[in-house]
């Protein structure tokens, strides 16, 4: 198995975790305000991650501090706009709009890295874009504040994917990951004091949801992305992650009763088609 194939299979596996986070996060937001949630989630993740990778992170280099700080800033902005946006829109719609990062990633890559995507990637992007259009143009699902914030989230995540492609080849993956966690935790704590009336209602349900997000969606998923994304391209990574809305919509249907309808199903089918076209295209 080639390094690219292994990397893309691992990225595909964590996509199922990402897809589940929209429903879990929306549920958790009934117990905690968005910025406090980000601060707590990443602070605990940083402590656990530092304990696991102590030998690799104890000698944090200046390069890892800088690059991890930049990535952490992009990650924080993406999560902040997504979490705040989730208060005004559905979990399914949030996932669909966040999936628009597949459109922005090739553009960011072209501008930042001067590297154009392959023909198969472009065809995949077109199919995914049209699929997302169908998914976000459902009757009674007009564009709102939450959707706009999630669109900003998609841009931030696209920039994150491109800069991760650059930085992960120049710095230790464990150090990069830890610095991102620390940056998100600090920014979450600072901004919470300025932009929200902090609330965190502790219960068995909220702690269980938070634990899942910390262990699986933060420590495992983000480290896997930081460690293996460099073995593929940003555009192909974004295409892989575009399956998230389909997973999120399926979970939201069973957990929250959110219905996407026939047009939504067609959009999901186009997303899968775009994923396959991009993945089966020549490297």
| Among candidate residues 51, 20, 64, the one with its CA nearest the CA of residue 183 | 64
Residue ranges per structural domain of the chain: 3-280
pLDDT in tens, 261-274: 788 778 878 887 88
Using DSSP's 3-state secondary structure scheme, residue 1 falls into coil
- Give 262: exposed, middle or buried? Use CB within 10 Å, 0-12, 13-18, 19+: exposed
Q: Provide the whole-model pTM.
A: 0.90
Find out whether 192 and 39 touch, Cβ atoms under 8 Å: yes
Can you tell me the distance from the alpha carbon of 270 to that of 131, in angstroms, rounded to the nearest whole number? 5
Can you tell me the distance from the alpha carbon of 205 to that of 240, in angstroms, rounded to the nearest whole number? 31
Of residues 260 and 231, the one with the higher pLDDT is 231
Looking at residue 282, its pLDDT comes to 60
pLDDT at 283 over 70: no
pLDDT in tens, 157-190: 999 999 999 999 989 999 999 999 999 999 999 9
Cα dist. 52→2, 48, 174, 207 in Å?
Answer: 28, 6, 10, 21
* Three state DSSP letters for 229-240: HHHCCHHHHHHH
Can you tell me the distance from the alpha carbon of 248 to that of 219, in angstroms, rounded to the nearest whole number? 20
pLDDT in tens, 215-232: 999 999 999 999 999 999
pLDDT at 140 over 60: no
| Helix spans in the chain (H) | 3-28, 34-52, 54-57, 62-86, 91-98, 101-113, 119-135, 145-167, 173-195, 204-212, 221-228, 234-241, 244-256, 261-280
Looking at residue 268, its pLDDT comes to 79
């Amino acid at each position: 198995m080639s390094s690219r194939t292994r990397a893309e299979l691992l990225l595909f596996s964590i996509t199922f975790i990402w897809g589940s986070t929209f429903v879990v996060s929306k549920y958790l937001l009934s117990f905690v305000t968005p910025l406090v949630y980000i601060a707590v989630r990443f602070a605990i993740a940083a402590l656990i991650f530092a304990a696991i990778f102590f030998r690799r992170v104890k000698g944090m280099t200046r390069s890892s501090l800088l690059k991890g700080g930049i990535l952490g800033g992009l990650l924080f902005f993406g999560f902040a706009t997504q979490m705040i946006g989730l208060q005004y829109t559905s979990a399914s719609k949030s996932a669909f709009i966040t999936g628009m990062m597949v459109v922005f990633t090739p553009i960011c890559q072209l501008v930042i890295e001067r590297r154009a995507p392959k023909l198969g990637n472009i065809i995949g992007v077109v199919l995914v874009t049209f699929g997302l259009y169908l998914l976000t143009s459902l009757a009674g699902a007009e564009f709102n504040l939450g959707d706009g914030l999630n669109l900003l989230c998609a841009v931030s995540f696209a920039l994150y994917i491109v800069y991760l492609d650059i930085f992960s080849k120049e710095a230790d993956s464990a150090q990069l990951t830890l610095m991102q966690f620390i940056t998100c935790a600090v920014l979450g704590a600072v901004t919470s004091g300025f932009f929200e009336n902090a609330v965190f209602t502790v219960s068995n349900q909220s702690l269980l949801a938070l634990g899942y997000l910390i262990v699986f969606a933060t420590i495992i998923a983000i480290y896997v992305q930081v460690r293996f994304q460099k073995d593929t391209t940003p555009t192909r990574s974004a295409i892989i992650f575009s399956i998230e809305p389909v997973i999120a919509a399926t979970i939201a249907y069973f957990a929250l009763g959110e219905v996407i309808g026939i047009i939504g199903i067609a959009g999901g089918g186009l997303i899968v088609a775009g994923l396959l076209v991009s993945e089966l295209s020549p490297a």
